[in-house]
Structure 1
Amino acid sequence: MSTDGGDGVRCLVTGASGYIGGRLVPELLAAGHEVRCLARTPAKLRDFPWSEQVETVRGDVTDPDSTARAMADVDVAYYLVHALGTGKGFERTDREAAENFGEQARKAGVRRIVYLGGLTPSGVSERELSPHLRSRTEVGRILLASGVPTAVLRAAVIIGSGSASFEMLRHLTERLPLMVTPSWVRTRIQPIAVRDVLRLLVGAAELPPEVNRTFDIGGPDILTYRDMMQRYARVAGLPRRLILPVPVLTPRLSSHWVGLVTPVPASIARPLSESLRHEVVCTEHDIDGYVPGPPGGPVGFERAVELALRRVQDADVTTRWSSASVPGTPSDPLPTDPDWTGGSLYTDVREMVVDASPEQLWRVVEGIGGENGWYSFPLAWAVRGWLDRLVGGVGLRRGRRDKSRLRVGDSLDFWRVEEIEPGKLLRLRAEMRVPGLAWLELRMEQDEQGRTVYRQRAVFYPHGLAGHAYWWSVAPFHGVVFGGMVRNIAAAATA
């Protein structure tokens, strides 16, 4: 790492492929800092848009040699790794990793460690904490005793697309209008928006050298989990949820319940559920005296949810199905987030090699709809149009402006042309009445053998339980409708 970075701080980030780390790195770069990432598998960082702007060192926080190499010439070391799991020995692994990290930082002359831990309840002994929170507390204590000035930022639920806690909240609220829930829905929590977490993490790099302590960090709202679900529903435009807490649902049982209802993996749902039995509210806000607040103050819960849902509500979910997309804010999804984050997204993907040139195939695709039809099961399309008109939609009556040419913004039966790359891509956004958002993407490519490949993708983002029910009710017909569409478009291109 260069040592002539001017006013910039030389930072080491561990956990850069994770939820917080992947969003912290571009914030540090934007602040003018140099960044080095320590990664067990550097290849995992290649898909991040900032990958070419950082230095990457292969290694592991449990390995003294690789950690020592990563610490060379570093001013501030961010510790963002944690064994979020229930397997035997994870607390010991966390302990040994923190001890090694602190020791190597001290030997390398690192001037500060910054650690993001979990907010713990006041008045509760460490023995009573969930294993997840207990381990995070122990890691913070080890780093504070390392001999390197350390800032331990302790947060509760982080609100942002991709956060495991937020995704659990999202899926529970969207999928269940009526919930029989664990008693922890009455627990008071002080959530914080991910952009405020990142702001404080970046600001912690400039703390005075004498600061060696924990800081509680939270947003302006103190809510129960039930309150958060109701407010999420309001922001998402869902009906008010009926929530019935049941005391007999233990943390173990509730983690299985969460796993059944949501796609959040059980290995993550269980420690999160166990931690929710404790009230986690900030007891101090001392970090405000060191890191200036943003204009207008910290982000409130409902605004944080709005930001997390922004891409979907703006009818732009390309961050979920295009690896080339880049998030506009820390609240947006990253292409590298796990598949179970960012809300449910259903797809029907089909492709076929076509014995025609891309130009011939494009002429057929650009002429789709209106009098030309949709190249599959005309009766099914007609019935769908009639049903749409029956519930107040536009149906198929709009047709198309031009018989052979399309422009962005054109209406096309009950679709709207959202994007065109002539000869390559046509993307349509549905304007029919459906409980969610829908797109149809038609793409032409050439493979390594020079053959023309037609790729077709239907994408549906469900809105509430009705959206999920809608998708599964029509899914049995996709083979006839979308499968026939692929075959008939290919046949028309070769005619």
Structure 2
Amino acid sequence: MADDTVNKQKTILVTGATGYIGGRLIPHLLKSGYRVRVMSRNVRHLQGRSWQNKVDVVEADVLRPDTLATALEGVDIAYYLIHSISARANFAQRDAQAANNFGNAAKQASVDQIIYLGGLGQERDGLSDHLASRQEVGAILKQHVPNTTEFRAAMVIGAGSLSFEMMRYLTQRLPIMLCPSWLYTRTQPIAVRDVLSYLVAAAATPASKGEIIEIGGQDILTYRDMMARFARLRGLRRYMIPMPVLAPHFSGLWVHLTTPISYDIAQPLINSLSNEMVVTDNKAHRIFTGISPLSTEEALLRALDELDAQEVETTWTDSMAATWVTDEPYTFIEERGMFIEARNRTVKATPEKIFSTFSAIGGQQGWLYLDWLWRARGYMDRFVGGPGYRFGRRNPASLRVGDVLDFWRVEAIDPNRMLLLRAEMRLPGRGWLRFAIEPHKDGTSTLTQTAYYAPKGLFGFIYWYALFIAHKFIFDGMINQLVSLSESEEQEPASTQPSRRLYLAGVSASLTVALAIIAAAIINRRDNT
């Protein structure tokens, strides 16, 4: 690593800052002492990033060449981390045009080095359109700036990586998988930690300039083997049945139906996975002697650690800040394998009053709305071996981390701002309930009630949607009661008499919950044997 004094004299431009690699690269560059400039088509998309106030921000678009001169002025090194993936015929043409615009502007600005991350694969093997486009972009950049360093990698293993997330969703949701022939293609995946190490090191390694450098982890294996390892680490029993066909169209549709990844993205991605992506030389080892890539299992464990429940308080709040419209009364998204259902209400009360209201729920006060349904859920949980509804809390007026709250446990608490509860009832997955307060200058506050659920396996996915309507009744009623109680002088929740129609809906929800819990217990017992 170059001396920080030398690094501070260099200005680095990062494109693709809102993308998976770009967003993670920036903190590493800042830590290494570089002056970092971030380019985005819309600077509002950078809101909520931890590094936002530590970088220079410029708005520019690679498809609008007249905007690039300002972005590249005075830049020594530029990271080009822009690419698209689509089943549409013109995506490669757009990528080539973008690279040509950027390369030409970088040349005019006398940029010394471009660092680019492309894809592994040998041209003689007949590359997919996506991989061919990735390699074409590298060639175009080098035509303009000969000192372009082009890294070529296979699947990047890390929470949030497109290929990794597709593998994870399929493995977690499908107990039985028909495995088309592309799942038996050899690949050499690499941990996101190692990709970032190579990218940062290239800026301080003159020997990397002008080189095409293939990078990969320690292991060469098939995608089927990788899914099997993932299932083992997750404690899942999976049955994989080989199919002697490639079936990219069928696979793309199946991914579209069973994961959040659309067919438009899944189909070209699967076509690329049909190409063998293995490192064919040791140039990376010779140039970057200080980097020792992780094994596949180590990389998977790190990715799973990042998805661990303990990080939900910080990781999910940060990611939501840049993408959610916070004044919407209801928002539902699926991100990183977690369902997130948020409800927002404006409350004419102080943060102290609101906090005291939601921190008093549970125990003798109950859950404010359809409380009998919460109790029924607890009895069902006890029936299948869970902790059940424990009818209590340590103190009726205060909470602390670790407190039991019926079948929840307090995981985090920030007085007058936030309360995070972790579900301890029997579930085919993991769940949390979070209450947060945002005060406003006019004396009102925004109360946000968010349910998080990380499903385990296909049944965990089905379980969530089976209870989707029940959640709407329960959680809508709960937050409305919290608002009413916070704005009133009364210390007890108002009596609610649900209509007959709502009562029947609650009964139906109870039966659905009962069946879901029993099935969850059976499947959980099977997965753990």
Please indicate the TM-score interval, normalised by the length of the shorter structure: 0.7 to 0.9
Q: Is the 8 A contact 2:114 2:145 kept in 1?
A: no
Give the aligned partner of residue 50 of structure 2.
49
Give the counterpart letter for 2:98 in structure 1: A
Residue by residue over 1:64-106, the C-alpha shift from the partner in whole angstroms, topping out at 9 and shown as x without a partner, is: 4433333322221211111322323322222233233333333
Q: Paired residue for 1:171?
A: 169
Conservation of the 8 A alpha-carbon contact between 1:152 and 1:215 = yes
**For 2:65 and 2:415, how far apart are their aligned partners in 1?**
54
Q: Distance in 1 between matches of 2:481 and 2:101?
A: 62
Does the 8 Å contact 2:74/2:109 carry over to 1?
yes
Q: SS of the residue aligned with 2:402?
A: coil
Identity of aligned residues (%): 44
**Secondary structure of the corresponding residue to residue 297 of structure 2:** helix
Contact map agreement 1:322 1:335 (CA 8 A) in 2:
no
Q: CA deviation at 1:123?
A: 4.0
Alpha-carbon deviation of 1:355? 6.3
2:344 paired with 1:344 = no
Distance 2:380 2:178 in 1: 34
Aligned to 2:26: 25
Aligned to 2:115: 114
Report matched runs for 1:266-345 at 5 Å. Answer: 266-294=263-291, 297-319=292-314, 321-323=316-318, 341-345=335-339
Equivalent residue, structure 1, for 2:373 = 380
Matches of 2:349 and 2:75, distance apart in 1: 57
Kindly tell me: are residues 346 and 99 of structure 1, through their superposed partners in 2, closer, same or farther at Cα, counting changes over 3 Å?
A: closer
Q: Do the aligned partners of residues 426 and 103 (structure 1) sit closer, same or farther apart at CA in structure 2, a change above 3 Å counting? A: closer
1:416 maps to 2:409: yes
Tell me the distance in 2 between the aligned counterparts of 1:236 and 1:152.
35
Once the two structures are TM-superposed, the CA of residue 147 in structure 1 deviates from its matched residue by 4.7
Match for 1:214 among 189, 212, 215? Answer: 212
Does the 8 Å contact 1:172/1:262 carry over to 2?
A: yes
Contact 2:113 2:209 (C-alpha < 8 Å) held by counterparts: no
- Structure-2 change in CA distance of 1:352 and 1:11 (3 Å): closer
Q: CA deviation at 1:458?
A: 2.1
1:428-469 alpha-carbon deviations (Å, 9 max, x no partner)? 111222121111223445556534554432221111122222
Task: Indicate yes or no: 2:478 matched with 1:485.
Answer: yes
Which amino acid is 1:291 matched to? F
Residues 164 and 268 of structure 1 are in contact (CA less than 8 Å); yes or no, is this contact kept in structure 2?
Answer: no
With the length of structure 1 as denominator, give the TM-score of the two structures: 0.88
User: TM-score when scaled to structure 2?
Assistant: 0.83
**Aligned with 1:305: secondary structure?**
helix
| Counterpart-to-counterpart distance in 2, 1:361 and 1:37 | 39
Aligned to 1:441: 434
3-state SS of 2:86 partner: coil
Deviation at 1:266, TM superposition (A): 2.3
CA contact (8 A) 1:112 1:209 kept: no
Between Structure 1 and Structure 2, the one with more helix by share is 2
Match 2:133 to one of 123, 132, 135: 135
Deviations 1:290-322 (A, max 9, x none): 22334xx31222222222222433433235641
Q: Which amino acid aligns with 1:186?
A: Y
Residue identity matched to 1:424 = R
In the alignment, the residues of structure 2 paired with residue 185 and residue 461 of structure 1 have an alpha-carbon distance, to the nearest angstrom, of 26
Aligned partner letter, 2:132? R
C-alpha deviation, 1:373, in angstroms: 2.0
Aligned to 2:421: 428
Q: Which residue identity lines up with residue 407 of structure 2 in the other structure?
A: F
- Counterpart CA distance in 2 for 1:359 and 1:11 is 45
| Counterpart in the other structure of 1:330 | none
Q: Residue type of the partner of 1:7?
A: N
Report the Cα offset of residue 397 of structure 1: 2.7
SS at match of 1:429: strand
CA contact (8 A) 1:164 1:341 kept: no
Secondary structure, aligned partner of 1:382: helix
Aligned residue pair count: 477
**Unaligned regions of 5+ residues in structure 2, if any?**
325-331, 491-529
* Equivalent position SS for 1:179: strand
How does 1:152-167 map onto structure 2 within 5 Å?
152-167=150-165
Partner secondary structure for residue 367 of structure 2: coil
* Aligned position for 2:87: 86
CA distance in 2, matches of 1:96, 1:455: 44
Q: Give 5+ residue unaligned stretches, structure 1.
A: 327-333
1:325 CA displacement: 8.3
Pick closer, same or farther for the CA change 1:437–1:108 going to 2, 3 Å: same
Does the CA-based 8 Å contact 2:149-2:213 persist in structure 1?
yes
Q: Aligned partners of 1:37, 1:31: CA distance in 2, in Å?
A: 16
In the aligned structure 2, how far is the partner of 1:324 from the partner of 1:242? 34
2 CA distance for matches of 1:219 and 1:194?
A: 10
Question: What is the distance in 2 between the residues matched to 1:177 and 1:252?
Answer: 22
Does structure 2 retain, via aligned residues, the 8 Å contact 1:167–1:341?
A: no
The range that moved more, 159-168 or 299-308, is 299-308
- Cα deviations across residues 307-356 of structure 1 (Å, max 9, x unaligned)? 22224334332356413789xxxxxxx979x9654113242x33455566
Question: Aligned-pair RMSD on alpha carbons?
Answer: 2.8
Q: Which residue of 2 aligns with 1:10?
A: 11
SS at match of 1:442: strand
CA distance in 1, matches of 2:97, 2:441: 48
Question: Could you tell me which residue of structure 2 aligns to residue 246 of structure 1?
Answer: 243
Cα drift, residue 253 of structure 1:
2.8
Q: Following the alignment from structure 1 to structure 2, what is the Cα–Cα distance between the partners of residues 382 and 191?
A: 48
The answer to whether residue 54 in structure 2 is matched with residue 58 in structure 1 is no
Check whether the contact 1:185–1:226 (CA below 8 A) recurs between aligned residues: yes
1:264–1:340: 8 Å Cα contact kept in structure 2?
no
Give per-residue Cα distances to partners, 1:330-385, cap 9 Å, x unaligned.
Answer: xxxx979x9654113242x3345556655444443232222222223333222222
What letter is aligned with 1:283? T
1:65, 1:351 → 2: CA distance? 41
Report the Cα distance in structure 1 between the residues aligned to 2:59 and 2:117, rounded to whole angstroms: 22
Give the direction of change, closer, same or farther, for the CA distance of 1:104–1:341 in structure 2 (3 Å limit).
same
